Structure 1
Amino acid sequence: MINKDRHEDYETCSTNKSKGIILACGQGSGIEFLLQNDPQAQIAHVTIDLSHLIKPKVLIDFSSIISFFSGGSGIENQFRFELFRVCDNEAPVLLGNWVFERRDTGGSTDTSVEKIAFNFNFCDCVKYPGCCQYFVVVRPLLFSGIPVTIDNARITAIAQSSSD
């Protein structure tokens, strides 16, 4: 699930000598779910060098757009967004998960595309600073069978030393 180009990300980290507040902008992608058993997918990742910070606190901001056809009674969709952290090539650690749920109980025959912004933020206290990658995986939990697109995924990380 982690970025295949992680080695390059760690090389970038090793040349980062900045101190104070660090901002890292990540990369995102999109995915279209067509079937209930579609596999999970990584949709965003960001790498940040925390090695020059003391007891770093990291704020992760994630956002995306979820698009689906509106209308139709009984349409139900549920997706879980999971945030992971990997530091210095360790095993991924699940930091949290957020559930997006949509139920259409109306009997509308309107088939227009509806777009909803979905976002979350998370504050992480890193005990052993190093080069860390944060990534978001999305998996369908409940799916109506009508295609759902999750795109325009964005992730950023802001870090600074902590005094506590």
Structure 2
Amino acid sequence: MSSEHDAAVLNVIFNPFLPLDDNSDKGILHMKDNDEDDKTLLPIKALERDGIEAAETGNFNAALKIFSKVIEAAPTRASGYNNRAQVYRLKGETEDAVMDLNKAIELSGGHGRSACQALCQRGLIFWKGGLTDEAKKDFEAAADLGSQFAKAQLVKLNPYAALCNQMLQTVFNNLYS
């Protein structure tokens, strides 16, 4: 079994362009939104879970209706916009998705889980749309909030880092083969 130090050394080797203080078991999974402990939001959170279930089963129109109800009930809560944006993105309605992501980032003040997820989603949309500089800014902001996904995307956006990672992985694969 490897120690925490061994894991950190391997992380630096395989991800040389990630920050040295990165700790993959912390970050977005432990991040809270400002309203996470608010018990009055339990019905809204239950409605959000219904919307997520509808989206996971491919019923995007039902999911959009549910998330619109969530937003109507809690218009200053970022997660409703973030979740509805995900459905818009899955449907290929990127303009609507970006509008909701912008609103989620604005409402969250750029902090918390919803902001981090919104920044990652918007970064992906920008990247797919060829807006690399905008994507990089969003991934950097999400990485600063602790997103391992965003950090990985930043490495992919850096061709030298991607080549270096590929070469190191080949060396280690050959070493252990």
Instruction: Indicate the TM-score class for this superposition, using the shorter chain for normalisation.
Output: under 0.3
Q: Which has the higher strand share?
A: 1
Q: Which has the higher helix share?
A: 2
Q: Which has the higher contact order (CA 8 A, sep 6+)?
A: 1
* TM-score, with structure 2 as normaliser: 0.22
